[in-house]
Amino acid sequence: MGKAKIDTAFSKVLNQGDKAFVPYIMAGDGGLENLKEQILFLEKNGATVVELGIPFSDPVADGPVIQEAGLRSLGNGTTLAAILTSLEEWKDTREIPIVLMTYINLVYSFGVEKFAERCEEVGVDGLIIPDLPLEEEELVTPALGEFGIALIRLVSPTSPSHRIEQIAKRSEGFLYAVTVKGTTGVRSKYEEGVEAYLKGLKEYAEVPVLAGFGVSSPEQVRTMSDYCDGVIVGSKIVESLHQGDRETIVALMAASKKSTVKQTSL
């Protein structure tokens, strides 16, 4: 299904007047045997797509919470091959699209063509590769295109306007709009100019624009969603899962729904 499955999921949510919500979790944090339950929990409670992190020893885009989750996962013996096998075992049980967030080293070591084919086999629909620059995308785009896997691009507020336009127009699935200068992590406030930045991306992109990095409360979910098509929440989800706090996760996802927005504005 790949790109088409992601496109369908976003169309369904946005056409009914809601905003998209993409939770990030670290595969193998808490044990790979719990991955199925974690993803089905997120699907049941209204996630649009699940972004699944692959543990890596040098996660340059990740803040402390996700770094620690990656170390816990690696400590459990989690490997990329094992994650893909787990996803394959229950791919017919889930309907929600799966997007892997990984680094180019892991893809390259696995073998780009082999990795793309394996993604298609196990029901992975898209990839986010934060350390793959636009100029080097030819390393993966032919193989991903062959197997229908979306390459989701990240765009940063520090990028010059011509580069932002290039990235926005090439993104597949959705455009990952980094909203802060730095790594992932919980933040209490955003820098000035975020609203204009997100609205500007909407003019360039042909896919939904989602705000990520630092979104950690229902209020921030609602605020960011006003400026774009939805949000990606990572550190707060990872932290809450680790602490066994499912209520916080449910509340975050509910904040992206039209009925909840109306209720909170009364």
User: Residue 177: what are its φ and ψ, rounded to 5°?
Assistant: -90, 105
The DSSP H or E segment spanning 127 is strand 126-128
Whether 51 is catalytic is yes
Whether 62 is catalytic is yes
- Looking at residue 71, its amino acid is L
19 close to 46: Cβ distance less than 8 angstroms: no
185 close to 235: Cβ distance less than 8 angstroms: yes
Helix ranges (H only) for the chain are 3-15, 35-44, 64-75, 80-89, 104-110, 112-122, 141-146, 161-170, 194-204, 218-227, 235-243, 246-254, 258-264
How many CB atoms within 10 Å of residue 203?
9
- Looking at residue 199, its amino acid is K
Among positive and negative, which fits the CA dihedral 28, 98, 23, 200?
positive
Structure tokens, 101:
């967030």
Residue 52 Cα distances to 22, 38, 91, 237, 261, angstroms: 10, 11, 14, 12, 27
Q: From the candidates 18, 29, 51, 172, give the one annotated as an active-site residue.
A: 51
How many CB atoms within 10 Å of residue 43?
18
212 close to 231: Cβ distance less than 8 angstroms: yes
Q: From the candidates 18, 62, 125, 229, give the one annotated as an active-site residue.
A: 62
Active site residues: 51, 62
